[in-house]
Amino acid sequence: MKRAILGALVATLATGCSSNSTAPEAKAARPPSFNPPAGVQVAEEGPRKLRYYRIPNVPKAAEAYYASDNLHIIAQVQDPDAVRKKPTDGGALTWTFTDQGTDLKRINGIGQDACSYFFPDMQHVVYTSIRDQLDKPIGNWSDPRDYPQGGELYKARIDGSNVQRLTNNEFYDAEISVSPDGQWIVFGRQTDGNMDLWRMRADGTGEQQITFTKDWDEGRPMFLPDSQTIMFRAWKYADYGKVRPTPMTVFTIRYDGTELTPRTPPDTSMNWSSYPAPDGRHFIGVRVIENNNWEIFLYDMERPNAPPERITYNAKFDGLDSISPDGQKMLFARATGDGFMADLYTHVMDISSLGIGPENYKGSIPKVAATKAEPGW
């Protein structure tokens, strides 16, 4: 589904991006996990001729993430049972399925959902929903001025049973992910119109605020392989709706709020939808190039001031990207309709040639910061 801030970003154009390669040479370490199902159309694109396909049998869906088996996926699927402001609005609920287009299961069938994620044990999932707050205005997941204030975090079994509500407040709680060791959930919380990052234990206890900002909106927090470092994107409230597309910076920060480090080049580009690779060095994210074309790029944290490498080549929206735990596949949403972000479907791309899998993790996260000044948090 559309992640928060998208409404502000539909816009004109951004500075062009170079396609200099930043990926290391791949190491043969794991058997290939890219396995297109029989009968699907497999295409190639870009200088690397990366293969990809659209997952069959799955309705319109986006913001998809792999489980630890590198096969099952959790995503926000457009569902006719989701509540809507008006019949023509979209509405998503949490589903799981495989990248073969099999084993489709709806995890939650009440209200409307946003973000979701697997626990590494593949026994539990966590998701954001308004299922218990249907008396409140539905809001708009894509507009920070109208986030659903009934958005709460829930944990459930892999089949959707044994639902446990983790938060209970009047705030907007979303933008969730789980640490690789399965011990922590990181998420965004909006209070008094201000979005900050928080974490809690896997059982919902021990809430801890990580960022304390008044003029920045932080979102899409994702743990790096050490389960200590968190990657996120941030944009200034002063730029919202005024500069198009909204300039964004990708940062990393320790779980205790220390070691804030900018990770994207020192320009005014939008660096959105960032997701760390399992090698602890690279990450993917979205930039907008000429003609308001949203594409996915590969960034190198050891060369933070270098232009990222373009991965997708398509005239329509590509984004809401993530990487499989083995580093061999990328999930992304691609617009297939006539309008911006129209008819989003989940695609799988073979990125094994990039060499960003866990076998290349060196046990620590690069300390090199981009030259862009830190925001003074």
pLDDT in tens, 27-44: 445 678 999 999 999 999
| Position 171 confidence tier, pLDDT thresholds 50, 70, 90 | confident
For the chain, what's the residue count?
377
User: Strand, helix or coil at 177?
Assistant: strand
- Give the residue-averaged pLDDT of 46-65: 97
Q: Which residues pair with residue 96 across a beta bridge? A: 74, 105
User: Strand, helix or coil at 342?
Assistant: coil
Find the distance separating the first CA and the last CA of the chain, reported in whole Å.
Answer: 30
C-alpha 116/C-alpha 297 separation (Å) is: 23
Looking at residue 29, its pLDDT comes to: 55
Looking at residue 355, its pLDDT comes to: 97
| Percent with pLDDT over 90 in the chain | 71
| Position 136 confidence tier, pLDDT thresholds 50, 70, 90 | confident
Looking at residue 288, its pLDDT comes to: 94
Looking at residue 13, its pLDDT comes to: 29
pLDDT in tens, 94-117: 999 999 999 999 999 999 999 999
pTM of the model: 0.90
Q: Which residues pair with residue 187 across a beta bridge? A: 198
Q: Which residues pair with residue 217 across a beta bridge? A: 235
Looking at residue 51, its pLDDT comes to: 98
- Give the residue-averaged pLDDT of 155-163: 97
* Domains, the chain: 6-360 (2.120.10.30)
Q: Hey, what are 329's tokens?
A: 């596949």
Q: Hey, what are 11's tokens?
A: 């816009």
pLDDT in tens, 334-344: 999 988 889 99
Average the pLDDT over each of 5-19, 29-43, 144-158 and give the range with the smallest value: 5-19
Residue 216's Cα: distance from chain center in Å? Answer: 19
- Give the residue-averaged pLDDT of 251-276: 91
- DSSP class of residue 48 equals T
C-alpha 362/C-alpha 365 separation (Å) is: 8
